[in-house]
Structure 1
Amino acid sequence: MTAVTDSPGHTESTPYLLIRLASTVDQLFADTARTHGLTAQQAHLICRLVGGPVQMAALGRQLGLEKSGLSGLVDRVERHGLVERVRDSCDRRMWWVRLTGQGQKTAHATHEEVMAGLEALTADLGPAEADLLKAVLERLLTDAPGDAAR
């Protein structure tokens, strides 16, 4: 597989532009996380919990982490007082991760700031361009391998 580089001929290719867009979103997450005393990965974790508790195995899949990596990440966010682990009431072998009260405040603030940054990124698009971008992104993400948002 050929690497996409900054060399002439690649800088305007669709794959290169997708990489730049992914890097821009990653940087937005990192900058927002830093304002809350978190790493980008910790911010991703708490934002995944905004909709409610998530089972540990599912959270690992969403974040693309193995069990040990996820446990360490949850440990660190737990030490910040933002999440807690809760045993499943039906299957004591399963654990859920949920936001604490402080975690809810931080997660919602982080999520809103990231969303505002993304809105700003697309603010200059007209309605037709915004609709087209949304349609193209939805098509690209439909059944995308490794789509962690599912």
Structure 2
Amino acid sequence: MSEPMDLATALVRLSHLVQRVFTEVSRDHELTQQQAQLLCALIAGPVGMTELGRTLHLEKSSITGLVDRVERRGLVTRVRDDHDRRACRIALTEKGAELGERSHEGVVERLDELTADLPAGTRELLAAALSGLTTQADAGRQVFEPANVRA
């Protein structure tokens, strides 16, 4: 039996596992991991470039290059922002939406398989704890981002 690990170490290992699953599913659909994450991030609807960069933790130049590459593949399109004519939002094409849904479902299926042997109560407790952690982290991110900090 292996030694129990502390929470932070367990979360780091979980992060690596999820990234590995994303990579495997991405390859199945002839996408890079970042391309699959981009498509999954857009499933709920068009997103502005700044928000997309924040979601994917990419700098402006990196997100622009990523969007350019998936746009050339016909998976996303740039649409004018109704509120700011200078800005654009990134939206999935029909092909991109299909591939994004398949990628998302593939990741979810593989993660469900990995956790299938956990008792139902443990799965529910783990889901609630991780949901609370991510919600708290997202709320904190909005508070401490440079754009929201006054000098």
Alignment TM class, shorter chain as reference: 0.7 to 0.9
Matched ranges for 1:55-66 at <5 A: 55-66=48-59
- 1:4 corresponding residue in structure 2: none
Larger helix proportion, structure 1 or 2? 2
1:100 to 93, 96, 105: 93
Tell me the distance in 2 between the aligned counterparts of 1:77 and 1:139.
32
With structure 2 as the length reference, what TM-score do the two structures score? 0.84
Tell me the distance in 2 between the aligned counterparts of 1:86 and 1:139.
33
Residue 146 of structure 1 deviates from its aligned partner by 4.8
Residue ranges of structure 2 left out of the alignment (5+ in a row)? 143-151
Q: Deviations over 1:94-118 (max 9, x none)?
A: 1100011110111111011011111
| Secondary structure of the corresponding residue to residue 72 of structure 1 | helix
With structure 1 as the length reference, what TM-score do the two structures score? 0.85
Tell me the distance in 2 between the aligned counterparts of 1:83 and 1:22.
27
Count of paired positions: 139
- 2:37 corresponding residue in structure 1: 44
Matched ranges for 1:52-131 at <5 A: 52-131=45-124
Tell me the distance in 2 between the aligned counterparts of 1:138 and 1:105.
26
AA aligned to 2:60 is K
| Secondary structure of the corresponding residue to residue 136 of structure 2 | coil
2:24 to 16, 31, 34: 31
Identical-residue share of aligned pairs (%): 46
Tell me the distance in 1 between the aligned counterparts of 2:64 and 2:93.
17
- 1:6 corresponding residue in structure 2: none
Q: Cα gap change, 1:90/1:135 in structure 2, threshold over 3 Å: closer, same or farther?
A: closer
| Secondary structure of the corresponding residue to residue 142 of structure 1 | helix
